């Protein structure tokens, strides 16, 4: 019985990483600009403001580095930021 559980856990690890890669790639390659979700339409934006948001959320990093950072944050419970919520974490908005 113990070997069965250990085998199932060993199989679960690559499946977990496969699912996280698929989810990350789907989110990263989705159409649209993720920066526009953080900027309210009534505000006039300039390139300096957009560059600051891109740097703050690490969108200027290569995709593999962004994946490792995203996975490390997700494992710690940080699931990202609410779009349009001025940088509010997702878990703070869920009641």
pLDDT tens, position by position, 10-64:
999 999 999 999 988 998 888 888 787 777 767 777 788 888 888 888 889 999 9
What are the respective helix, strand and coil percentages of the chain, to the nearest 5? Answer: 60, 0, 35
In angstroms, rounded to a whole number, what is the distance separating the alpha carbons of residues 17 and 22? 9
**Confidence (pLDDT) at 87:** 61
Residue 95 has pLDDT above 60, yes or no: no
> Environment class of residue 77 by beta-carbon count within 10 Å: exposed (0-12), middle (13-18) or buried (19+)?
exposed
Residue 94 has pLDDT above 60, yes or no: no
Work out the average pLDDT over 3-10: 95
**Confidence (pLDDT) at 9:** 94
In angstroms, rounded to a whole number, what is the distance separating the alpha carbons of residues 22 and 58? 19
**Confidence (pLDDT) at 82:** 67
Residue 84 has pLDDT above 60, yes or no: no
Work out the average pLDDT over 75-80: 80
């Amino acid at each position: 019985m113990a070997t069965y559980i250990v085998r199932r856990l060993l199989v679960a690890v690559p499946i977990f990483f496969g699912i996280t890669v698929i989810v990350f790639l789907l989110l990263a390659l989705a159409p649209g600009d993720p920066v526009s979700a953080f900027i309210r339409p009534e505000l006039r934006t300039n390139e300096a403001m957009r560059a600051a948001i891109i740097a703050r959320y690490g969108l200027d990093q290569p995709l593999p580095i962004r994946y490792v950072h995203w996975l490390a944050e997700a494992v710690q419970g940080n699931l990202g930021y609410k779009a349009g919520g001025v940088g509010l974490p997702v878990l703070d908005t869920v009641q």
